Amino acid sequence: MNTKQQDIRLLHAIEYQASLSNNRISSFVFEGKTYIIKKQRESRSKIGYVILTSISKLLRMPALQGIHVSGGKKTQDTEVRRLKALFMADILVPQIIYENELYFVMSCMGDKSFDFILKSTQNPSSIIHWEQILKAIVSVHDKGAYLSQAFSRNMILHESHEVAFIDFEDDPGMIMSLHLAQARDWLLCILSTCWRLDVDFKTQAQIISNHLSQERKEVQEEVLSCASKIASLRFLFRGKKRYKKRDLQSCKVLIDVMNELKQLSQR
């Protein structure tokens, strides 16, 4: 069977699978390879965007300003454009296979997110995986690129045992400079990973500092500036109360780690 015939068979499989599923994101296997179908989403509420932007302005942290995801074809076009650009930059992201006015299809990076991996492993394995993430972010930035929603749930363990990245529905580079977008990657990564680690905050800060030191100076300075401002919010979590909600847990740990990072940078 020639390549053209295979492409036609794959297209028919895509159209058939897309018609079967009511889910926004679904997968199917064709000739031993897994593909992801991602349909368009409705516009998100602007409330979260407004709140985050207001907080970022109040604390003077432009790297964390909200980015509105409009939904529909516009958001799909953004993600397809970003995936193609990152793929061309030799960054491990899904390859675009097909797109139309309602959905697009991409290659599958794997089935285990680093959020799941960090949740499921104990020290020292969790530290090894965490540092793998930090090294991967530095590598992306070394190529003059940036991510988008750099949460551990959007980082996938690829079959090559490398970190792959998914979910690019927004583009921070459209509203902020490169060094701010790269600092944003660090902050979102720290927010989503540190609370999963059974390691003291001082050690976490030291590991972050070791990897952050490989970044351009302006990225380092922006992250450390944000660390100082975030650390000032420690009064919000006084005492040793254990919080059950994930968002509160991750925010508390972020503040504590940023406080240690601030102190480390002042030595």
CA neighbor of 105 nearest in space, from 6, 4, 21, 28:
28
Average pLDDT over residues 119-144: 95
Q: Which of residues 59 and 109 earns the better pLDDT score? A: 109
Closest CA relative to residue 34, chosen from 113, 108, 96: 108
Record the tokens describing residue 210, joined without a space. 């070791």
Q: Which residues constitute the domain of residue 235?
A: 114-266
Q: Are residues 65 and 80 in the same domain?
A: yes
Residue 143: Cβ-neighbour burial (10 angstroms; 0-12, 13-18, 19+): exposed
Shared domain for 254 and 124, answered yes or no, is yes
User: What is the pLDDT, as a whole number, of residue 148?
Assistant: 87
**Is 119's pLDDT higher than 70?**
yes
Q: Does residue 68 sit in the same domain as residue 31? A: yes
Q: Are residues 243 and 133 in the same domain?
A: yes
Q: Are residues 135 and 207 in the same domain?
A: yes
What total number of domains does the chain contain? 2
Q: Last residue of a domain, which of 74, 107, 140?
A: 107
pLDDT, tens only, 158-208: 999 999 999 999 999 999 999 999 999 999 999 999 999 999 999 999 999
Percent of the chain scoring above 70 in pLDDT: 95
Same-domain pairing of 209 and 103: no
Is 230 found in the same domain as 254? yes
List, as one string, the DSSP characters of 51-73.
HHHHHHHHTT-GGG-------HH
SS3 for 179-216, per residue?
A: HHHHHHHHHHHHHHHHHHCCCCHHHHHHHHHHHHCCCC
Q: Confidence band (pLDDT; 50, 70, 90) for 142?
A: very high
Residue 1's pLDDT band, with cuts at 50, 70 and 90, is low
Tens-place pLDDT, residues 57-87 = 888 999 999 888 888 999 999 999 999 999 9
User: In this predicted structure, what is the pLDDT of residue 241?
Assistant: 60
pLDDT at 45: 66
pLDDT range class, residue 239, cuts 50, 70, 90:
low
Q: Are residues 13 and 54 in the same domain?
A: yes
The greatest distance separating any two alpha carbons of the chain, rounded to the nearest whole angstrom, comes to: 68
User: What confidence score (pLDDT) does residue 211 get?
Assistant: 99
Distance CA 168, CA 152 (A): 14
244 φ/ψ angles, rounded to the nearest 5 degrees: -85, -30
Write down the H helix ranges in 61-200.
72-88, 114-120, 125-142, 178-193
Distance between CA atoms of residues 267 and 258, nearest Å: 15
Tell how strand 33-39 and strand 96-99 pair up: unpaired
Domain boundary residue, one of 58, 90, 107: 107
Q: State the Cα–Cα distance between residues 144 and 216, nearest whole angstrom.
A: 10
CATH code of the domain containing 47: 3.30.200
Which of 5-19, 196-210, 229-243 shows the lowest mean pLDDT across its residues?
229-243
**Domain termination site, one of 63, 81, 107:** 107
